Amino acid sequence: DIQMTQSPSTLSASVGDRVTITCRASQSISSWLAWYQQKPGKAPKLLIYKASSLESGVPSRFSGSGSGTEFTLTISSLQPDDFATYYCQQYNSYPRFGQGTKVEI
């Protein structure tokens, strides 16, 4: 099984900050990685797919990078609407999520 490890688990930040979340896979997944945003009581929302492709309608302040086993999600300038929990997911094999990163004030 491919294990996904996100860091940090919690991130405290302010509006306007540049934020970076890391996701590591236990073996190479090429670029088959997605990032999701989830707010309390809501379903997750796709932000990034294939490691660096921005989903339609997602603000350009979100970006993804990486390949193989190490990936990052960057929010260039944190906005009030961005305080949420973020999950990475590999889909090189059957889907597997990271444990999540909560971005809080």
Partner 1 sequence: EVQLLESGGGLVQPGGSLRLSCAASGFTFSNYAMSWVRQAPGKGLEWVSAMSGSGASTYYADSVKGRFTISRDNSKNTLYLQMNSLRAEDTAVYYCAKHRGAIVVVSPVDYWGQGTLLTVSS
Residues that bind partner 1 (CB under 8 A): 1, 32, 34, 36, 38, 42-46, 49-50, 55, 85, 87, 89, 91-100
Nearer to partner 1 among residue 17 and residue 55 (C-beta): 55
Rounded distance between C-alpha atoms, residue 12 and residue 82, angstroms:
12
Nearer to partner 1 among residue 17 and residue 100 (C-beta): 100
Nearer to partner 1 among residue 16 and residue 41 (C-beta): 41
In the complex, least distance from residue 94 CB atom to partner 1, rounded to whole angstroms:
4
In the complex, least distance from residue 13 CB atom to partner 1, rounded to whole angstroms:
20
Is the previous residue joined to 40 through a cis bond, with omega within 30 degrees of 0? Answer: no
In the complex, least distance from residue 6 CB atom to partner 1, rounded to whole angstroms:
9
Q: HEC states along 31-99?
A: CCEEEEEECCCCCCEEEEECCCEECCCCCCCEEEEEECCEEEEEECCCCHHHCCEEEEEECCCCCEECC
